Structure formats: structure tokens, C-alpha cells
Structure 1
Amino acid sequence: MSDIPRKSSTRTRRLASIPLGIAGRAAVGYGKKLAGGDRGEINAELSAKAADQLFKVLGELKGGAMKFGQALSVMEAAIPDEYAEPYREALTKLQAAAPPLPAKSVHRVLDQQLGTKWRERFVSFDDTPTASASIGQVHRAVWADGRDVAVKVQYPGADEALRADLKTLSRFASMMASMMPGTDVKPVLAELTERMEEELDYRIEASNQRAFAKEFDGDSDFAIPKVVASAPKVVVTEWMTATPLSTIISKGTVEQRNRAGELFALFAFSSPTRVGLLHCDPHPGNFMLRDDGRLGVIDFGACAPLPKGLPFALGRMVRLASEERFDELTQLLYDNNFVIPGRKVTDREIDEYLRPFTDPIKTESFHFTRSWLQKVAGTAADFNGSQFKTARSLNLPPEYLMIFRVLLGGVGIGAQLDAEAPYMRILADWLPGFTEDDERALPAGG
């Protein structure tokens, strides 16, 4: 494919083609059904074509649009099975196999970032990418010292495309506010924009990865590739050979799936304490299982700084929810700005709102399944249900945006893996405020 579209108007028009295309195919399918066609075959054909279009459009747009698709890929386990299969395959491909850029475009970036004699720094360089992400693609190469390396090259125009998508998202702020009266979405969008802007500078990603690689060097559970070289739009790291999490999800043994689920949770909850950073891009394309049983982690562009670890108040909230102490939990939500100013929620409403989601923190181990997640998602999406009514009075403080993104992503990945693991032990070991007897209700982020 050619370089990615950069203009906001062009990208918005391409995104609009997805629902329009689906509507057009639905009309054709309706005609075929009237003509006596097999409903099952027609529905399957329409779903397959819609999924293919979704992959093609989001993959070619890349930027924020593709990030949205990757976020959907994590939560596809929540989609009822009768609808999910075609989309599951398309969204999984978005994790690592979007349409690549031509070699000449890649060489142009390398010329600009590593100098026109960049080839002298490599023994060999494979022009065919091994993976394609939202703002860059990865090539395998051999560094001058003989090490196998991964070379991530940012797409030309990725910065403009990402900012265009964020601008489009900002236009929807008023619409989102009307759907959730009282919610101030602007601080949340500002936090999202700041994190995405950081992803555009690969020097920040390299700094994040160096911090993780140093802390987890020689770790028995995790493997982080070391950084070899970096520039604003190119980063070179050691190559890591392992089985992608997407393969573990589809073909892994019970032991592999449980191991991956446990390690993903352990990595998410321990990193803020150990590194002072939270890896904020929780989709299977960034994780893999090595033959030695360690979880390999890549792509550190999206990281939230948490120098004090995860918020103490979050651990208290989880503990109070697990013990069903909803009077104290409700007050803690008020104290930490999780309730929209001027709104009122009762202990009973919080109880009813959280009950479908609290199964994983009620037992020492929990088995995440697609059926469980589909049931929970169905309850949350019921516009006529009490949970949705309560949700309209709740707020997400911007400093919790990335934390909840990782938590939700972890739930989605756990359900995809069909994993059972001792999640309560991980919380007890690594979530501040979860086991402490201290009754402090610290401000968010404290």
C-alpha cells in the first residue's frame, strides 16, 4: 500500500465507509433473502465481507483508527459467538498484520533517521516486515555485531494521521457528553492525547523499554528485549523468538493458556511498583510465550508514569468490593472523584452496578471465559438496566484512564485465553491498599 492518508477529512470519509458499506451489503442481503436464498449462508457471507472491510480500512488508515481496532480486538471475546467469528479473525490480524508500507518508504525513513549509510550498521536487513502496528512496522535484521534485531520504523505521516484521528475524536466530545450528561470528557481526551503524542517519539519508547529491560533482566517470569539503538522515528531492539499470544489463544494447551493469563496479570500489577511505569498497550500482539515459560513483552510506546506504583485508593476500592462493604466503597468513590459532581449514588446502586463484575475477586482463583465476559458485557450494555442508569452518574478521573484500559484489556485477554489463575494472590502481592489495614482514603493517584 502507499503512504497512509494524513488529512482529517480523508480519514473521516474512509471511516464513514465502514457503516455505509455494511448498510449497503445488508440491503443486498435482504433482497437475496426475499428471493429465497439461504439465510445462514447469506448472513455468513455478509459478516465475512464486513469483517474484511473493517480490517482493510482500519489497517490502511493505521494511526488512531487502527489503535481503535486493536482495542476492539482485545474485547472481541465479549461478542456473542454467533456473530464474532469473522470479526475475531479480522481484528486479530490487526494486532500484527496490517497492510505494510513499500520498501522505498521504509528506506526513506531509515535514511532520515539513521543516516544515508544506515545499511553499514547492519549485516542484513529484510525489506519484508514481520509485523505491522498502528504507527510503525517491524523488520528483522542482523546488527553489525551479529545480533538478531527488530527494527521498528514509524510510518511517514503517522504523526499527522494520529493527530487527525484525535481531532476527529475531540469533535465527538460534545456528543459523548450528551450521552453521558455531566461527564467531563475533555480531561480524559487530554490524557489520551498526551499518551498518544508520546508514542510518536520512539526515543521515549526506547527509554521506557530500557527501564523495563533493566528491572526484569534475568527475571524468571518475564523477558524484555534490550534496546540497541534509537532515533525519533526508528528503534532497534534485540530480536525475541517466542510464540505469539494470539497463537496461544487459538492453539495453546491449558497449561500454556493459564500460564500466559497469570503472567499477564502479574506483569500489569507488578510493573508500576518495580519500574514506576505501566505498560498501557494490552493487546495480544505485544505479548508472547517463550519456550522457557517466560512472558515476552514488546512495544513500550504507550506507558503511563506511576512513580508511586498503582494508586492506594484503587486497592482499597477492590478490597471493599470483594468484601461487599459498599457503604465504605461508595464514600471512597465520592472522595476520589468517581462520582460526577452534583450526582448521587447509593450503596445499593453501587452494589447492583458492581455485582456482575466482581466474580474474579471473590475467589482465590478465577476462570475467565468468553461466556462469562459475554454475560457481563450484555448486562453493562442494557440501556434499560439499573447498571446503565448508575453508570451515567459515575466518572472516570483522567489519571485512571490508562489504568482502566489495562484492567479491561487484561479481562479481555483472560477471556480469550480461557485462563484460570490465582489472581487474588497477585492483587495481594502487588496492589497497594488491597491488603493493608490502613483505612486511609487517599486521593486518586496517591
Structure 2
Amino acid sequence: MSDIPRRTASRTAKLASLPLGVAGRAAAGWGRRIAGGDREQISAQMMAKSAEQLFAVLGELKGGAMKFGQALSVFEAAVPDELAEPYREALTKLQTAAPPMPTADVHRMLAEQFGRGWRSRFREFDEVPAAAASIGQVHRAVWRDGRDVAVKVQYPGAEEAVLSDLRQLSRMSRLLQPLAPGMDIKPLIAELRERMVEELDYRDEADNQRAFASVYADDPEIRVPRVVASAPKAMVSEWVTGRRLGDVIRQGTQEERDRAGELLAGFHYSAPYRVHLLHSDPHPGNFQILDDGRMLVVDFGAVARLPEGLPRPLTIMTKFALENRPADLIALLRDEGFLRAGTDVSADDVLAYLAPFTEPLHTERFRFTRRWLQGQAERVGDLRSPEFDTGRALNLPPQYLLVHRVTLGTLGVLCQLEADVPLRGIVGRWQPELFTPAD
């Protein structure tokens, strides 16, 4: 008899322990304050312990819970420094870390996917996982033709775990909201639910990766490993490794961080037009810098399909904002469903709300910083600000949600890098209409 129901109940209980644990620490903290304890020290201790529990639970559960934590981790640059530090390390760990699955489970999954003679496909197979992902882990091996390969194996029961986690996390959105101020967590969870179902079949991921690898095969800036073999719950691709982007964020020189930011932005804006797909998991764990200076990109389970490149309405909206054309902007927003029906908001207010987001495109180079992103988050998330009321009038149609999230995620990584990037030139290469004068 399957033990999936029992494991699912256990996962639900662990996730439920997060808000209860936070509430308990808050009550204890108030007690210590009443007794005369230092308020800032007590708050710091509470947040550190909450962050530790967040990582322990999400990291252990993997699946949708870990995926959600990884999605949040790219937005930590938007959290004010005095609040973010305890969570920063915990969320960043989720980009690459998770407890490994037992060796017996790995062997069983490979036998199910590639047959009982799966070992004959490899000259060598390292039983110790080299990396952990949200719904699977990666082992290093040598393919039968002598190539070094990465073997990605899905965790047993991943589908049940993903759906269970996301249902539970949707009930915790209020607790998690402070990790991404100015952003509505519930739509993110709903979108993750849809995308994670797609990611459960590694054959789809393999097809996506093949498309990217083909287009970027001879690219001087981007490297995508070629796929060697694939099955529904296992995938083999070339082994390529370099310096993790997270290490560049933490320890890189300014020159290294600037270059990494330029490569990341170039990949983000070029892929929709070159591959007609958008890599939709932009957290630092999926990017590395190779010795030859190129950026390695991995994990193509989640993609947006864009047969005509980025949706043209988004380009035209950005153009109107750049050219200070409020009347044209608000008319297009209404036509495309970006304004809620029956809302009364002025064109000038909408332009003022969106203008700071186009700021990086006004100059040849722009320095992305945590402080800049924090300012944007505070501006649109402050209940007392006029921008908050304007933001409430805006709507994000479902067909644009993934592109919007990926763009914000990429922006968050650029701010983590504190990178100086020639964004105007990068965007202009692929969206020349943005900077072409109107007839």
C-alpha cells in the first residue's frame, strides 16, 4: 500500500508549523519586552529563528514548498536591510541546497525510467548527488561514450508533494507576504501551481533545453548543455560547471558582477526572439560563470512560449512610458485589460507610477542596487502613498503573468549583483521599436 497519503499529511503538518512557530516566537518576544528586554535584539533573534525554521522546513520538503522559496529568494533584494538579513541567508540557501534522497530511491527511479539495465548506459555513476533541485537532484556520471554527464532524477512522489505544498502555501500567503513587499503572493502561488505541473515531465524540459542548446550552440556569451537522454522522471545532459552566480553575488569584484549582470540581461531579452521561449526560473542557482567567460544556463523545466517574441503590447506600453505619453499609455492599458473595470485613475498618475520602472532604460548604463529596488517596493507597497492607490487600480492579465514575474525576478538578481549594466543597448537590440521615434 502506498505511503503517499501518510507522507502528504506529514508535509502538511510541517508547513503548518511555520505560522504557529512564528506566532509562538512573537508571543515569547512580547513577554521578554514587557520584562524589559532590548526590543531590537529580541526582534533580531525572533527573525533569525524564523528564517532558520523556514529553510529547515522548505528545504526538507522540496517540491512546491522549496520551489516557492526559490522564487521568493530572487526578491530578497527588495526587502529593507534591517529586516532582510536573517531571511537572506535562509532563502538564498534554497537556491541550491536540499537534503538528498536515499540511494535506493535513486536506483529505483533510474530503473523505472531507463530499464533494469540502466547502469550499462554509464561507465561511471556517482552515488553522491552533486546538486539538489526543487523536484529532483543531480548526479555526476560518465556516459557510455566517455562524455561527462549530469543525471537529473525526480524525487519519488514529487507530483503529490508539489500539489500538496502549493495548497498549503496558499493558506500561508499572509505570513509570507513580508518577504516580498509590494507583491501579491497569492497569484504567484497560483501561477506556480500551473507551471509546476508542467515541470513534472522531464521530457518537456528536455525538449525545451534542446531548443535553447541549438540556438545558443556557438554563442560567445551563453552556454546551454546538450541533452543526451530523457524520460518522464529522469534526464541526462552534458556535465558543464563553473562559478555559481550566488558566489559572484557574495564575493565577486565589481567588474565580475557587472559582467554577470550584462550576460544575464542579454540572455533574458534575447531568448524570446531567438528561441521564442523565455527561461522562467531566474534564480541564481540556475546560472554559473564559466572559465571562458560565458554564462551557463540550466533548468529549463519552466518556460513561457512566445512565438512572436515578447508580447508587443508590453513593448508599446514601455515605449509610451519612456516617451512621456500618458494619454496613449492609459488608452492601451484599458484596451489590453491592465486597468480594472470601473476604476477612476488619471493618466498622469499611471505614468508617474510606472515611470521609475523604465528608469534603467533612460541612460546608456544603469547601476542596479538593492537600495533602488527597496525604494520601488516601498513606493508601491506603502499604504499611505498615492502610488499604492494607483497600483490597486492596475490589473495583470493572466497571459502576461509569467513574463512579468520573470522580468521582476531578473531585475531582482541584477539588484543582488549590484551590477552596472548597459541595459538600454541590450533591450534596444531586440526591441528597436522602443527607441525608434514615432512617425
TM-score computed with the length of structure 2 as normaliser: 0.90
Q: For residues 415 and 188 of structure 1, what CA distance do their matches in structure 2 show?
A: 20
Q: For residues 81 and 237 of structure 1, what CA distance do their matches in structure 2 show?
A: 39
- Work out whether residues 4 and 160 of structure 2, in 8 Å CA contact, stay in contact via their aligned partners in 1: no
- SS of 1:301's partner is coil
* Structure 2 counterparts to residues 41-440 of structure 1, below 5 A: 41-168=41-168, 192-431=192-431, 433-436=433-436
- SS of 1:388's partner is helix
- SS of 2:308's partner is coil
- Work out whether residues 15 and 169 of structure 2, in 8 Å CA contact, stay in contact via their aligned partners in 1: no
Q: For residues 223 and 438 of structure 1, what CA distance do their matches in structure 2 show?
A: 37
- Superposition deviation, residue 46 in structure 1: 2.4
C-alpha spacing 1:169/1:342, structure 2 compared with 1 (3 Å): farther
- Per the alignment, residue 178 of structure 2 pairs with none
Per-residue CA deviation, residues 114-165 of structure 1 (Å, 9 max, x unaligned), is 1122122112222221221111111111111221111111111111122234
- Superposition deviation, residue 357 in structure 1: 2.6
- Per the alignment, residue 23 of structure 2 pairs with 23
- Superposition deviation, residue 48 in structure 1: 2.2
Q: For residues 349 and 322 of structure 2, what CA distance do their matches in structure 1 show?
A: 16
- Superposition deviation, residue 9 in structure 1: 5.4
Q: Answer with 426-435 or 33-42: which moved more.
A: 33-42
Q: For residues 187 and 378 of structure 2, what CA distance do their matches in structure 1 show?
A: 28
- SS of 1:134's partner is coil
- Work out whether residues 224 and 297 of structure 1, in 8 Å CA contact, stay in contact via their aligned partners in 2: yes
State how many pairs are aligned. 426
- Work out whether residues 5 and 161 of structure 1, in 8 Å CA contact, stay in contact via their aligned partners in 2: no
- SS of 1:434's partner is helix
- Per the alignment, residue 179 of structure 2 pairs with none
C-alpha spacing 1:187/1:62, structure 2 compared with 1 (3 Å): closer
Q: For residues 300 and 317 of structure 1, what CA distance do their matches in structure 2 show?
A: 28
Q: For residues 401 and 49 of structure 2, what CA distance do their matches in structure 1 show?
A: 34
- Work out whether residues 65 and 169 of structure 2, in 8 Å CA contact, stay in contact via their aligned partners in 1: no
- Work out whether residues 59 and 94 of structure 2, in 8 Å CA contact, stay in contact via their aligned partners in 1: yes
Q: Which runs of 5+ in 1 are unaligned?
A: 174-184, 440-446
Q: For residues 11 and 71 of structure 2, what CA distance do their matches in structure 1 show?
A: 18
Q: Answer with 377-386 or 90-99: which moved more.
A: 377-386
Q: For residues 189 and 79 of structure 1, what CA distance do their matches in structure 2 show?
A: 19
Identity of aligned residues (%): 58
- Superposition deviation, residue 274 in structure 1: 0.4
Q: Which runs of 5+ in 2 are unaligned?
A: 174-184
Per-residue CA deviation, residues 362-413 of structure 1 (Å, 9 max, x unaligned), is 2221101111111111112112222221222211111111111111011100
Q: Answer with 419-428 or 141-150: which moved more.
A: 141-150
- Work out whether residues 319 and 435 of structure 1, in 8 Å CA contact, stay in contact via their aligned partners in 2: yes
- Superposition deviation, residue 168 in structure 1: 4.7
Q: For residues 44 and 188 of structure 1, what CA distance do their matches in structure 2 show?
A: 28
Q: For residues 54 and 252 of structure 2, what CA distance do their matches in structure 1 show?
A: 27
Per-residue CA deviation, residues 78-105 of structure 1 (Å, 9 max, x unaligned), is 1111222221111111001112212112
